[in-house]
Chains A and B, each alone.
Chain A
Amino acid sequence: MKIDIHTHTRKCKVGDAPARDIDPSTFCEIVQSTDVGIIAITNHNVFDKPQYDAIVEQLDARPQIWPGVELDIVEGDSRGHLIVIAPPITVDAFDEAVNDITNGTSPDNFTTSVDEVIANFDQFGPLYVAHYKQKAPCLSDEAISQLQSRTAYPERVLKEVTNSISAGIYISHGYASIYGSDHHDWSNYPEYVADLPDLRLPVESFEHFCLLLKKDATTINTALDRKASESIELVPFEDGTKIPLKVFNDINVIFGPKGTGKSCILRSIARHYQDQGMDASVFESASDRLDEIFDTKGGSISLNLNPLGINYCTDEIKALRRAEEKPATALSKYIRHFQGQTANKNAKRMRIKDLELEQPGAFKEDFQKSHAAHKEIAKFLTFLSGEAIVNEELSEQDLEQLTVLVRKLLVNVDQRRRTSLFGWKEIELLNSAIELFRSEVERKTGSPAKPTSTGFLSYARNRIEIAANAKAVIDSIGRTIPRELRSIGHIGKDKGELEVWTDFQFQVGTVTDGSFKPMKSVKKQAQKQFAKHVQKIYEHRFEGDLFKHVSKLGEDEDVEAIESVYELLLFKRYFALEGAAYTPSSGEASMVMLQKELASEKDVYILDEPERSLGNDYISDVIVPLIKERARAGRKVFISTHDANIAVRTLPYSSVYRTHGPKGYSTFVGNPFSNNLVNLEDFEDWLDWREVSMRTLEGGVEAFGERGTIYGHY
């Protein structure tokens, strides 16, 4: 849930953008389309009560609308802005107080002082949000000190900075800081929202927010208790030390100096959840395993050729291997027939023996076509009667008409396939009878029958079959297979999305690119030879040396292993960026692996120093949002880290601090909300969460302060 403590709904000053003006209905529509849970309306020197009431009425408590005003404060030579936000229950009195203090002065001319603000508004217990440093016009440090010393609620004085980075630095320095949208144009408000502060603990009301600001232990624990959690007991070390932990379905951080057993705790957490049958393992960055994880060597790559419409040609290759030449009928058979024509009278009467054999080809082909069509039409009829989508898209009448037509087609095609089948079998029977009578006359009279064929037909058919099989293989391996692209992770704003590409191609006999590897365990040379032989078979299909090439399919070493065109398939898998091959650095490899881990669907994520090899900007821009997203989805995220961005900016519900001192190893648990860490073995032993974090993660207060001072100049 986001909070926005600085918004304008009215153009009050001359310099205000006109697009700040918004009517209540449009305002409600826009804010309800976002993730903002709390909005303070803080117009310049004006509180528009009727507008506020209309908004509150329409929104029905979601998001919460807090009444406020942005005042021009003059203290000595300093002039700056101070936002005063009042509890919604005091809105009527607050409205009067704003009217009293402004007293009809135009917003452009109105100014006030810290004392007048305290006198008019402190009675409500408001939040004071002062423009600070780079947030212009800012209140001077003196004016803010004055405000803090005069108010009855010093913990409610916040410093408004310009963005999350500044806020993070100031908060780490112990300054209560926040920032709001302070935008000028409502039409693009949803774009601002992603950058607004997140509320890690649920905030029910203005008063609840103030208690959290005060770090009220009861309030914090109550809020934490609402979050799904469980108590687990770990035995991570060989000495049997037990570590009881309350873990949240959210972010749980383990931090501390090197060598204090953080990794052991993570492994113990993994075992705990594995014992419960959950998918839990410790993710450790290992950038050298990127190739293995994405299988660039292709151990598990497979490709289904059927959806690509590519014939595997298993039968065709088998047929090519066993192809043999058919004998040609010698003309001497004809001579013998003419020389020995029978004088037997009965034989002469049997005219059937002299009939020419007929070719059933046309009938056979028609039968095969109509039979295949019949099967498809019958399948379509079943589809029509059984698919819900058909009933959804067609009226009952339309469906009936279509069904009648398809049935008619089915009947007609059935009739045709019967006719062609009968024609085919009729010719076969006739041919069989002719052959039978010829052989019987030949046997009885001793006179050779007229040959039924010149031999050309069977000879040519054999060659046609060989040519067709070779052509099928050549057609298949001549097909282009589209590249497989898979996006595997973002490697930084400047570089973009890293992809894994898999290129495929068949060995057609001429592929020499050494980066392509066979999909199956077939030698490349064997692939090449096989493809060349098939090509030669096709080229020599009607030549005398055809079978010299056919026999080579079985002669070359390892060529026997090729049973289908799949064995001729080559692949190349590699990483690519912006449309070209790319070798990711070890840091980039770490980025991708961590994203892959966080993108996988798990109930428990256990990350051991995920920041290893990663740049800070990447951790902030990509990893921290991903971790937060997993946490928002109710997953348990355990992170051992030395990185402040992860340990601090994620505001973990649970922080486990491991340390080693004179008394040996100790484990402290706590959270950033209560700002304390308690020794599990001695509840009287407390540490300040912020100080420990700064020492352990930032190199100490001084180093952090120095960096903060340097950053403060920008």
Chain B
Amino acid sequence: MATIEATVEEMDGEYSLKIQSDPDPILIPISKNDANAVKDAFNRLLQLVQEAPVKINLLGVGDDLFSQVTQEYVKQLNHELKEIRKEMDSNGLTAN
């Protein structure tokens, strides 16, 4: 299982969940609805899960709204990443 670190980032008043990944981090917008950005992020996550089981570890969780929201979101996302890895396995779609 690969653990990937993530943080809540603020830029120009917009908040994002930033998941560390090479070559670029994966960004999921929190404070605005950007379906395409979310899909791009999901595709990147799928590529990671295909390689190995993945768990996101959210760092620096504060009491502010976006930290709380993101914590809940990541908790659910980890649950779903685990489930998807199993389904990829049973369909013969994993790399390992």
Contact residues of A with B, CB < 8 Å?
Answer: 325, 327-332, 334-335, 338-339, 356, 359, 361-362, 365, 450-451, 453-457, 459-461, 463-464, 467-468, 471, 541-544
Contact = CB atoms under 8 A, between A and B. Distances in A.
A452 B81 CA distance: 14
9 A-B pairs closest in CB distance: A328-B38, A542-B46, A330-B33, A457-B80, A468-B91, A460-B84, A334-B69, A456-B80, A331-B30
Contacts of B65: 335, 338-339
B46 A460 contact: yes
A331 B28 contact: yes
B84 A454 contact: no
Interface string B3-35: 000000000000001000000000011111111
B62 to A, nearest CB: 13
A335 B92 CA distance: 37
Contact of A330 (B35, B40, B42): B35
A332 B32 contact: yes
B41 to A, nearest CB: 8
A541 to B, nearest CB: 8
Given A356-B79, A456-B80, A328 B35 contact: yes
A328 B42 contact: yes
A456 B69 contact: no
A328 B46 CA distance: 13
Given A335-B31, A471-B93, A455 B38 contact: yes
Contacts, number: 101
Interface in B37-79: 38-40, 42-43, 45-47, 49-50, 65-66, 68-70, 72-73, 76-77, 79
22 contacts: A327-B35, A328-B35, A328-B39, A331-B69, A334-B69, A334-B73, A335-B65, A338-B65, A362-B86, A454-B73, A454-B76, A454-B77, A456-B77, A457-B80, A460-B42, A460-B46, A461-B84, A464-B93, A467-B93, A468-B92, A471-B91, A471-B92
A472 to B, nearest CB: 10
B88 A464 contact: yes
B90 interface: yes
Contact of B84 (A356, A362, A451, A457): A457
Contact of B45 (A327, A356, A359, A456): A456
Nearest to B37: A328
Contacts of B73: 331, 334, 454
Contacts of B46: 460, 463, 542
Central interface residue in A356, A541, A542, by most chain B CB within 10 Å:
A542
Given A356-B79, A455-B42, A456-B84, 17 more contacts: A328-B35, A328-B38, A331-B70, A334-B72, A334-B73, A338-B69, A356-B76, A453-B76, A460-B45, A460-B80, A460-B87, A463-B43, A464-B88, A464-B91, A468-B91, A468-B92, A468-B93
A459 B83 CA distance: 13
A91 B46 CA distance: 101
Given A334-B73, A338-B68, A457-B83, A325 B92 contact: no
B75 to A, nearest CB: 8
A542 B69 contact: no
A454 B32 CA distance: 15
Contacts of B87: 361, 460-461, 464
A543 B45 CA distance: 11
Contacts of B69: 331, 334-335, 338
Contact of B80 (A335, A450, A454): A454
Nearest to B47: A542
B12 to A, nearest CB: 17
A332 B93 CA distance: 32
Nearest to A469: B91
